[in-house]
A = this chain, B = another copy of it.
Amino acid sequence: MEIEPVMNIAKRRGFVFPSSEIYGGLSGFFDLGPVGLLLRRKIENSWREFFIKSQDNIFEIETSIIMHEKVWKASGHLDGFTDPLTQCRKCHSFYRADNIIEEKTGKFVESLNTEELTELIKKNKLKCPKCKGDLGEAKIFNLMLSSNIGPVTGNVAYLRPETAQGIFTNFKNILVSTRAALPFGVAQIGYSYRNEISPRQWIIRLRELRQMEIEYFFNPDKISVPDREVLKTKIPIVTREVQKKENFEAVKKEAGNLVKEKIIPNELIAYFIAKEFLWYQQLGIPSSALRFRHMQPEETPHYSKGNFDMEINFDFGWKEATGNAYRTDHDLSTHMKHSGTDFSVVEDGKKIVPHVVEPSFGIDRAIYATLLFCYRDGKERGWEWFEFPSKIAPYVAGVYPLMNKDKLPEKAREVYEMLKKCWDVFYDGSGSIGKRYARADEIGTPYCITIDHDTLKDNSVTIRDRNTTKQIRVKIKDLTNIIWKLLNEEIKFEKAGS
């Protein structure tokens, strides 16, 4: 499993382009081409359906990307959203001190301060990976991007490093406008910015990234989950104990039982974790490449009652794709203190500050994983293709006239216009039909509809299945209905033909 060929086809077929590429690119920034944007939109819509619309009490909002300095002072990001930095004394390259140490020593150093990191750099005689020069002291570097707002210099605001703060600061506005009662959630999809010292691994470590976050507010004395069935899902968990061993592996346990075993702090976290396990599989990622790691105490903020990272086993190893945190009332209480706004709600005649659990998804990593796991090399077919699950495929179907004559294009256009009302489909009339099938496969199109001379006689068309390359023949009048049923897995492809 390699990412190189995936990156190549992703650029060639319009999934992902490097930003500002004609000027040498801008490290940590990427553009989505026509096919990539369709894929991302489908992944976002799938998430919205599965996590938001399946419930009645989660509201989606979209808040400004740039927010007031005081927001970040209150949230702790101004002081604490930092990475330790070290610079090569010879070639002046910058590195994350903790990464350099972890890579060379295998030690886990996330909780160490700059003095301790500097000590480890010296003790292990760590050198610059580029020029072998000496590395300097570890220093604190704030990861927020800032910008000067208005004509007066020094009027600094920050590009949000997470979408969550736009939810917390609007807590009262949302409460008043929706008349919501606990428990309820607020979701946001949008860009966040992190001034990574060394962006890398394509769209994994980005400076401009996209998140999907939910803040689910509740009364800690009255925890209820929207659907108890979900708690019966067996999820792959890596407990704090287990990960101390070498070559540890996740064990599968029922999400609800992990609460009873006091590994997961409450049923709401267990509920979201279980849903995440189900959702990522809908993106074509195998369950064996998913696990939930209970973060160690030194990786967990002091106010959190438990953090669980959903990790994916990428080509380069396990990496966080969704973070889950039980943030208690920390965020609302902090903003109450700093702003003087009252965020308390009355429950059973008692004023309380709601607690919150936060599942936080990185979309770019979901796209990376989808591309990686759905990629099929060209060994068998002679061309590469993507086995995207039908519901997230950029296009549902391509429509083709077998030849560009005998009124076949006109008939194909009719079919195309009909299908376009329901789905994203494309029309392709150029090159041999084999080449057109290959191009459709390359962008993971589940179905190819071909209009031939028989179509003119009996109004039937062929549907070619991407996964099997098998074909069936159906009537045009049944086409929409059959594709609908195929997408919803109500019928099997082989049995859909007439």
- A residues neighboring B (CB under 8 Å): 11-14, 17, 19-35, 37, 40, 53, 56, 59-68, 70-71, 74, 85, 87, 94, 141, 145-152, 157, 159, 166, 169-170, 172-174, 176-179, 191, 193, 195, 197, 207-208, 335, 338-339, 341, 420, 426-427, 430
By CB atoms of chain B within 10 A, which of A30, A178, A341 has the most?
A: A178
Whether A169 lies near B20 (C-beta < 8 A) is yes
In the assembled complex, how far is the CB of residue A207 from the closest CB belonging to chain B, in whole angstroms? 7
Q: Which residue of B lies closest to A29 (CB)?
A: B64
Q: With A169-B20, A169-B22 known to touch, is A208 a contact of B66 (CB < 8 Å)?
A: yes
CA–CA, A197 to B11, complex, Å?
39
In the assembled complex, how far is the CB of residue A326 from the closest CB belonging to chain B, in whole angstroms? 24
Q: With A25-B68, A169-B21, A173-B17 known to touch, is A31 a contact of B157 (CB < 8 Å)?
A: no
By CB atoms of chain B within 10 A, which of A25, A159, A341 has the most?
A: A159
Whether B64 lies near A30 (C-beta < 8 A) is yes
A interface SS class: mixed
In the assembled complex, how far is the CB of residue A145 from the closest CB belonging to chain B, in whole angstroms? 5
Q: With A22-B341, A427-B56 known to touch, is A12 a contact of B177 (CB < 8 Å)?
A: yes
Top 8 closest pairs, chain A to chain B, by CB: A14-B177, A20-B68, A23-B70, A22-B339, A31-B63, A19-B64, A34-B59, A29-B64
Neighbour of A176 across the interface among B12, B53, B170, B173, CB < 8 A:
B12
Whether A147 lies near B150 (C-beta < 8 A) is no
Q: Which residues of B contact A341 (CB under 8 A)?
A: 22
Neighbour of A170 across the interface among B13, B31, B159, CB < 8 A:
B31
Chosen A-B contacts, 17 in total, with CB atoms closer than 8 Å, are A11-B177, A14-B178, A20-B64, A22-B172, A22-B339, A23-B71, A23-B338, A24-B68, A25-B68, A28-B149, A29-B66, A31-B61, A87-B151, A94-B152, A150-B197, A151-B197, A191-B191
CA–CA, A402 to B59, complex, Å?
24
